[in-house]
Copies of this chain bind each other. A is one copy, B any other.
């Protein structure tokens, strides 16, 4: 069980409806915008370097997801971090594909050494790659060898906590078991259903949801990230249950997930 009252944190999202400026990938950008709306926040998905300062200035949080790499986006990624630092806005970083492509890992390590972030939200393979531990990532999904189980929980938690301490941020490591840690305190969430990993973008959606919670609860980052994770997991359970009742498949699951988030 998580030691906080998630209702309170969600209520803040719904009452303050924070604006979340998202630099996210073109695969799941529509889903991320809809998830941010579903939880009661407002999305802006601007990536042009010429307008980042305007939109980050209006926003309560920044979602930086490097899912779509492109030479012409390098400046946008860097500038969003620089502007957020200057304006004191919290950044939730999704290190998509860290460990799978060398240019991703290198860019992320350099950015993390240069700019502060509030939360790193990634899967176990990505968090491992940023931690400098050995291993192999096979794509943008977590490798089976990185799964968190009862047996590996202590080591995985220590790895995430080490990364959190190194960068002075919260690490939200997603998987069948989610680990959330600020380096001192660590929480585990064992909810959710495996079917969520069979629709694209649930990780990106969770990053957007985390940014919404962080934007509405800026003084409780760990709790906000944990609330977002638990909300996503619980809504995934509800969505899968309804999908089964409807005898549906992955198309229905995706619709039910947005439904559950908006009705929560």
Q: List residues of chain A with CB under 8 Å of any chain B CB.
A: 19, 25-31, 33-34, 37-38, 42-51, 54-55, 58-59, 67-72, 97, 100-104, 138-141, 198-201, 248-252, 254-263
Contacts and interface: CB of A to CB of B under 8 A. Distances in A.
15 contacts: A27-B29, A27-B33, A34-B250, A37-B250, A45-B68, A48-B68, A48-B103, A50-B69, A51-B102, A54-B101, A250-B259, A250-B262, A251-B254, A251-B255, A254-B255
A151 B44 CA distance: 30
Nearest to A69: B48
Q: Could you say how many copies of this chain the assembly holds?
A: 3
Contact of A37 (B30, B50, B200): B200
B258 A51 contact: no
Contacts of A70: 47-48, 72
Rank and list the top 4 A-B pairs by shortest CB-CB distance, nearest first. Answer: A251-B258, A249-B259, A249-B262, A51-B101
Contact of A139 (B44, B97, B199, B248): B44
Contacts of A138: 19, 42, 58
A154 to B, nearest CB: 29
Contact of A249 (B47, B67, B252, B263): B263
B68 A47 contact: yes
Contacts of A48: 68-71, 103
Nearest to A138: B58
Given A28-B30, A37-B200, A44-B100, 18 more contacts: A19-B139, A27-B30, A30-B200, A33-B200, A33-B201, A34-B199, A37-B250, A46-B68, A47-B68, A47-B69, A48-B68, A48-B71, A50-B101, A51-B97, A58-B100, A72-B72, A249-B260, A251-B259
B259 A38 contact: no
Contacts of A31: 30
